[in-house]
Amino acid sequence: AYAEFRVPPENVRPMVEQWLTSRWFTPAQFLEKASFGVVIPKYLPFWHFSVHVEVECTGKVLKKERDPYRDGTIETAGNAREQYHYEYRNVFELATHSHEGFKSQLGRVSNWRRDRASLSVSSMAPGPRSMLESPTPWVEMWRRFMHEVYEEHEKRGRQVLQRQGSVLESKVHLEFKKLEKRTVYIPVYMTNYQYEGNTYPTLVHGVSGEIISDRPYSVTGVMSRVGNLFGL
């Protein structure tokens, strides 16, 4: 599935300029000193999926029991077992290793809206289709996801077993069920700007216009805005 571009390419630079100059700590005379690069439209691939996970935790714990021979309790080691399930809904993972220069910015796109990506790729015209990037193999992303999930539930499972006593050792077994997945293509403009010898990669969402970019900071810029606010 994909979403169509709604932001015209000629609007990208003015939007980035307005975004930069409207923020605190932007250097004074920023626009006069900055230079902007070309604007490249792309359809970036993401894996969008949901999955149900059954978790079984087993291990050994120290259990407190009543001492039958004296007033008080004693601790004895015993086996423990707990079960629970967990839902991962609408997981959104970037499916490309390209654009190394945009790595920091691409790491922040997981919260971008994907519910508008409802059009079929098969209906794409040749022009937009040429902007599609091939996704990384599903198995590659899935292995990484499973590893992260195992690490998460190794910790969570140990905490669950603590209901029965102090945990001496533990392990988890996971079973993945009801997997639903699809490839989603999000329209993105990729550009950058240069300021005082530094390059700032910038992403602009092709539907919402949301901007992800790093930027230069200047205390002088703040003082200038404060002065303008108070007529100084």
The pLDDT of residue 154: 95
The pLDDT of residue 223: 42
For 111-150, write each residue's pLDDT tens digit: 666 666 788 898 888 888 899 988 999 999 999 999 999 9
The pLDDT of residue 173: 96
The pLDDT of residue 114: 64
| 10-residue mean pLDDT series, the chain (232 residues) | 91 92 76 89 93 96 76 80 95 86 79 72 88 92 95 95 92 96 93 89 91 74 45 47
| SS (HEC) of the chain | CECCCCCCHHHHHHHHHHHHHCCCCCCCCHHHHCEECCCEEEEEEEEEEEEEEEEEEEEEEEEEEECCCCCCEEEEEEEEEEEEEEEEEEEEEECCCCCHHHHHHHCCCCCCCCCCCCECHHHCCHHHHCCECCCCCHHHHHHHHHHHHHHHHHHHHHHHHCCCCEEEEEEEEEEEEEEEEEEEEEEEEEEEEEECCEEEEEEEECCCCCEEECCCCCHHHHHHHHHHHCCC
The pLDDT of residue 110: 61
pTM: 0.76
